[in-house]
Amino acid sequence: MRVTRFLAGALAGVTTLTMIAGCAGQIQALEPKLELRDAAKQLGEAQRAGFTMTVTGSADDLVAAAELESGDAGVLRRLFNSSVTVAYDKAGEGAEDDRASISATVDGVTGTEVRYVDKTMFLRAPIGELAATFGASADELAAMGGDQGPGLDAFFDGKWVSVDTAALGQLAEAGAGVPAPDVESEKALSEFTASATNLLEGADLVRDENDDTHLVATSTTAKAYGELQRLVTALASELGDLPSLSPSGAPSPDKPIVLDLWIVDGKLTAAEIDLLQFADGATGRVALRLEMTTGAEITAPEGATKLDPEQLPGPASTQPYLESGSLLDAPTG
């Protein structure tokens, strides 16, 4: 009896080991996707989250890939000394009280920020520093000031100003002659999330042998273009008439797209995509990098000066300066 039980147990053990060995490859391939799925779910359910976007790598490689003249190359080089941080705060149930902020460092100049709180937009920017960074003269800087009204004066002084978003929408309709699109933020976020999920679910996902936190996802330009078609169709009702995307417009030939992801302790901490993989013949690496930031409460800044949207320059007054490539001489009142 004992011999029989021993043989039966041994047979069961051998069978189990054989099955595990046969499925090991499938388990190994599936495991990174499950980890990424859990991390994405956790991020989507967070009440507060955000990310900082930077450009990393070699400025010389980017300039070479873009084949720009030295004057235009300076603009690209500024990207490596700039960053944008985007954050959201759900604040409560539903989308009505959602809050968001965008802050930027432009070629080393900090202080540009936009916040959306309680249907009001708050913004500030170090106008003088930014203008000087991009080559404005002392006379041009002086011309930007003056008695333009409390709101614009405060804004050009680098202080916080506030604008009623409903009034901005009305101004946009009046200036452009067409209704401003009313996009449901929840639907837009849901569709963008679905597109990202679809692409990652259909990608080949492997773990870096030298870094357990590093996952490498490989998709294709054809899959990306197909998902873009789906996204445009899904949001067409909110955004109005959008350019149609036909299969003939897809990039040819089909090429791989590689995305790097980092997950630490079950949380997505960073994502990076090499921009030079889209430039034929480019060498080196220039990556757009997103680093997840710790969520924080987003509040209305104190002491903001109310800005009347009617004070803002309309399309007709700024068009000549847009065409000439300079906004420094545009009227501000």
Mean of the pLDDT values across residues 155-178? Answer: 71
Within 10 A of 156 (CB to CB), how many other CB atoms are there? Answer: 19
Residue 160 to residue 306: CA distance in whole angstroms: 9
| pLDDT beyond 90 at 312 | no
- pLDDT band, very low/low/confident/very high, at 275 (cuts 50, 70, 90): very high
Percent over 70 (pLDDT), the chain: 69
Q: Which residues contact 3 (CB under 8 A, 6 or more apart)?
A: none
Query: Topology of 34-72+184-294 in CATH?
Result: outer membrane lipoprotein receptor (LolB), chain A (2.50.20)
Residue range(s) of every CATH 2.50.20 domain in the chain: 34-72+184-294
Mean of the pLDDT values across residues 238-266? Answer: 76
Q: Who has greater pLDDT, 166 or 51?
A: 51
Residue 254 to residue 247: CA distance in whole angstroms: 12
Q: What is the mean pLDDT of the chain?
A: 76
Structure tokens at 238: 């909110």
- pLDDT band, very low/low/confident/very high, at 66 (cuts 50, 70, 90): confident
Percent over 90 (pLDDT), the chain: 31
**pLDDT in the model for residue 320:** 41
- 3-state class of 315 per DSSP? helix
Cβ contact 153:117 at 8 Å:
no
| pLDDT beyond 50 at 306 | yes
**pLDDT in the model for residue 177:** 47
- pLDDT band, very low/low/confident/very high, at 329 (cuts 50, 70, 90): very low
Query: Given the structure tokens 């009001």, which residue do they identify?
Result: 120
Can you give the pTM of this predicted structure? 0.74
Query: By C-alpha distance, which of 318, 300, 330 is closest to 165?
Result: 300
- pLDDT band, very low/low/confident/very high, at 315 (cuts 50, 70, 90): very low
How, if at all, do strands 48-57 and 305-306 pair? unpaired
**pLDDT in the model for residue 126:** 93
Query: By C-alpha distance, which of 166, 165, 148 is closest to 157?
Result: 148
| pLDDT beyond 50 at 53 | yes
**pLDDT in the model for residue 215:** 94
- pLDDT band, very low/low/confident/very high, at 169 (cuts 50, 70, 90): low
Query: By C-alpha distance, which of 245, 223, 247, 220 is closest to 235?
Result: 245
- 3-state class of 218 per DSSP? strand
Cβ contact 116:165 at 8 Å:
yes
- pLDDT band, very low/low/confident/very high, at 97 (cuts 50, 70, 90): confident
Mean of the pLDDT values across residues 263-273? Answer: 92
Residue 272 has phi, psi (to 5 degrees) of -150, 135
- pLDDT band, very low/low/confident/very high, at 313 (cuts 50, 70, 90): low
For residue 217, which amino acid is it?
Answer: A
**pLDDT in the model for residue 45:** 82
**pLDDT in the model for residue 246:** 63
- 3-state class of 252 per DSSP? coil
**pLDDT in the model for residue 311:** 65
Digit-coded pLDDT (tens) for 13-33: 443 333 333 433 343 445 788
Mean of the pLDDT values across residues 229-238? Answer: 78
